[in-house]
Amino acid sequence: MKKSILVLTAVTGLLFASCQNFKKGEGGLEYKFHKDNGGEKAIGGDVLAMDIIVETDRDSVLLSTYDLGLPQIAPIMPDSMMQGGYAGDNNTILKMLGEGDSATFKLNLDTMAAKTGQPKPEFADKYIQFTIKVKKLFKKGDLTDSVLFDQVNQYYLAEMEGLKKAEEGKISSYVEKNKLQPKKTASGLQYVISTEGAGANPVVGDTVVLNYTGALTNGKVFDTNIEESAKKHNKLNPMRPYEPLRVRVGHTPVITGWTEGLQLLKKGSKATFIIPSALGYGERQQNNDIPPYAPLVFDVEVLDIIAGPKGETPQVTPSPLEMPTGSN
């Protein structure tokens, strides 16, 4: 009995301590530092490069820079330039941070609505939570804006170069982890046909009817036309019809990897495409889902191939920056 009382007391103490972890700030802001590096904090005019996870109080992740592999660049607005700002807002959060700091903040939505006159967002109830780790603090000081933002730009380009150099390793790791033995085309497209279909391969002008799921090499799904898959991976868009996609080869604007890959498949085929960024979106980030220099993995199933008109015009090379499908 005595041991049980001690255990219960210890658990109660831990729960109490957990509740006390967050401190109260102005405007209903709550915050908890995981690491205070003790350095200079950001002020108006400075710029932060930070990793950030944005979540709602419904346990829904709105944004994570860790998925993109790139930090978010956040300028801190001087008080003289703030319109509609208030104590406890986003700018308040940024000015509490310095290089090397990490902390979690809960932005009070009732305060935000009262101070800004804007309605609370529908995707959260009481707060939006920001977990931030500051990678770099750029001090404005006496620097001109052009000099400051040149420093920021050089830093960001270096981060981009890191992603570019990491791409080949991401592809190799994905292939090894999934025990694949893909074939590779001259362009760099890799593919595995798990189910071989029948009939002729599609050519330019033919329409391929298919289902697909697209993901990064870390397994994070960014798009699918299959409703069950969209629900499973929290990508369901109620405004979108979930039905087979129709791609007219050489005419529908899809990424180059798709134009090449679809011509390798017969009706009934199931396959996985591993598409390097040179055949995808290159250095361009796509929303918050696809980072620059991202190799992409598509699982596709060809449901039908509809022959195109005779005497088709030559193939139109699609832009590698086009979305491959009716993406969200």
Domains of the chain, CATH where assigned = 21-142 (3.10.50.40), 165-306 (3.10.50.40)
Cβ partners under 8 Å of residue 275, min gap 6: 189, 190, 255, 257, 258, 261, 295, 296, 297, 298
Residue type, 86: Y
- Catalytic one of 223, 274, 289, 299: 223
Is 222 noted as a catalytic residue in this protein? yes
Say what the pLDDT of residue 68 is.
Answer: 86
Letter string b/e over residues 292-304, b meaning 16 or more CB atoms within 10 A of that residue's CB: bbbbbbbbbbbbe
- Catalytic one of 31, 281, 289, 305: 281
pTM recorded for the entire structure:
0.78
Task: Please give the Cα distance from 313 to 205 (Å, whole number).
Answer: 8
> Nearest to residue 76, comparing CAs of 106, 41, 52, 100?
41
- Catalytic one of 105, 127, 130, 298: 298
Is 36 noted as a catalytic residue in this protein? no
pLDDT along the chain (328 residues), means of 10: 43 45 94 96 97 94 89 90 85 97 97 93 95 98 96 96 96 97 97 97 96 96 95 91 96 96 98 98 90 96 92 47 41
- Catalytic one of 138, 174, 212, 293: 212
User: Residue 37, CB half-sphere, CA atoms under 13 Å: how many?
Assistant: 17
Is 273 noted as a catalytic residue in this protein? no
3-state secondary structure (DSSP) of residue 218: coil
Say what the pLDDT of residue 20 is.
Answer: 54
Say what the pLDDT of residue 79 is.
Answer: 77
Is 298 noted as a catalytic residue in this protein? yes
- Catalytic one of 93, 132, 255, 275: 255
Q: Which two tokens stand for residue 29?
A: 């802001």
Is 123 noted as a catalytic residue in this protein? no
- Catalytic one of 222, 293, 299, 305: 222
Is 31 noted as a catalytic residue in this protein? no
